[in-house]
Every structure is written in structure tokens, then in C-alpha cells.
Chains A and B, each alone.
Chain A
Amino acid sequence: KAGVTQTPRYLIKTRGQQVTLSCSPISGHRSVSWYQQTPGQGLQFLFEYFSETQRNKGNFPGRFSGRQFSNSRSEMNVSTLELGDSALYLCASSLAASLYEQYFGPGTRLTVT
């Protein structure tokens, strides 16, 4: 069974631009979570989607948004990029409603210049 895939793997953007990251969960998984990983803050939860509905949301500004499609694929969008948004963005999927077993993708490395 294929794992969680994220595209693109690497991205360089300029301050003020916007970016969209994509995540394809493991087949059959309906929950997708997004995390931001930085050296200073570690792993921070962004949001979680289940059956196309946002079920949990972390403490990030409204510039960070996401959505989930009927095939469970998810996208996250960051508008008006800031230097501090440079990070590794990780997506994780899990079966049904339980978040106990989360399977992570390799991440998208975003650099904002």
C-alpha cells in the first residue's frame, strides 16, 4: 500500500506570495492532519480534516487555511508569506476518526526569501 505522499517536496517563495501544498493520504484513510516543523518551535499542529470537514484547528493565523476533497486528498494554503513561515510542512493520515495511528508523509520544505 502506498504511503502518504506530499507535493512538492521543496519550494522557494518570496515574501508576500502565496503557496499551496498538497497531500495524498494512504488509500482508505479519511483523516488528514497538517503540522509545521521548525527548529525553534518544533512540531506544531495546524489543522485536521475528516470527511471534508475541519475537525480540529491549531493556533495559527488565518493566513493558513486548508481543505479536503471527497477523495480525502488535502491541500493547505498559506497566503501573504512571511519569512517565519519557512518550515517543513508535514501531512499525516489516519483511518476513520481515530488519531492514534498517524502515518506521516516526507514533508514539503518551504523556504521564504
Chain B
Amino acid sequence: GNSVTQMEGPVTLSEEAFLTINCTYTATGYPSLFWYVQYPGEGLQLLLKATKADDKGSNKGFEATYRKETTSFHLEKGSVQVSDSAVYFCALTDSGNTPLVFGKGTRLSVIA
């Protein structure tokens, strides 16, 4: 079945550091890939998405590129802020009608 593997957290970074959160997937066909973010006490928010190979999703300074050859969708940000502290989830769906499959989540803490 489909699955998503994310790097274990927590990740602690200083403000303005570079962020990478690794995500790899296993899926049949050609899935669509997503990053969601969950701030403390809130539900999940869609951060960015990519629907085909080599697509780059980007939003709020975050970006991720759909790499079919390495089955990866790593999340990056050049300069993190304290307000980026949250839990980040990588997810996929292999069609528009099937449920999202989520990774376990990676907790990011950014310290000033």
C-alpha cells in the first residue's frame, strides 16, 4: 500500500537557519504530494503541493520538489523564523478520490 516516511524529530534550529525536512514515499502510479503544517492547538493547514514529477510547490518561503526518481518530496526553507515552529506532515494521495496518507510528522522548534 501507499506510505510516507518522514525524518524523525524534533528538529531544533536557530532563527535564520536553513531547514530541510526529508520525506520519501511509496505509492502505485503517480501520486500527488503535499506538505501540511499544524500549529499548536490548531488543525492542519495545507502548506504546499505538487501534482506531477519535477513540480515545485512553494508557499511562505517554503518549497519542495517532486522527485520521482528518488521518490522524495523534501521540504526546505532558507531562513526559518520563530513563528515557523510547528509540526510538519508530508502526505500523498494517488488519486483525487482516495484519502490522504500522512507521514508521522516532524516537530520543528525555532529558537531566537
User: Which residues of A line the B interface, CB within 8 A?
Assistant: 4, 33, 42-43, 45, 48, 55-56, 58, 90, 92, 97-107
Give the contacts of B20-71 with A (CB-CB under 8 A): 32, 36, 41-46, 49, 51
Please, which residues of chain A bring their CB within 8 A of the CB of B72? none
Q: Which of B41, B45, B99, B105 is in CB contact (< 8 Å) with A42?
A: B105
Ordered nearest first, which 3 A-B pairs have the shortest CB separation?
Answer: A104-B43, A43-B102, A98-B96
In the bound complex, how far is the Cα of B99 from the Cα of A92, in angstroms? 11
A98 to B93, CA, bound (A): 11
Which A residues lie within 8 Å of B103 (CB)? 42
Residues of A within 8 A of B32 (CB): 100
Which chain A residues lie closer than 8 Å to B11 at the CB level? Answer: none
> A59 to B41, alpha carbons, bound, how many Å?
26
> Shortest Cβ distance from A104 into chain B, in angstroms?
4
Interface of B is mostly: loop
List the B side residues contacting A45 at CB < 8 Å. Answer: 99-101
Q: Would you call A90 and B44 a contact (CB within 8 A)?
A: yes
Query: Which residues of the other chain, A, contact B51 by a CB distance below 8 angstroms?
Result: 100
Whole-angstrom CA separation of A106 from B102 in the bound complex: 17
| Complex interface: chain A residues within 8 A of B97 (CB) | 55-56, 97-99
Are A99 and B99 touching (Cβ within 8 A)?
Answer: yes
Known: A33-B99, A97-B97, A106-B41. 7 other contacts (CB 8 A): A56-B97, A56-B99, A58-B99, A99-B98, A100-B93, A104-B43, A104-B45
User: Given known contacts A55-B97, A99-B98, A100-B32, is B104 in contact with A42 (CB within 8 Å)?
Assistant: yes
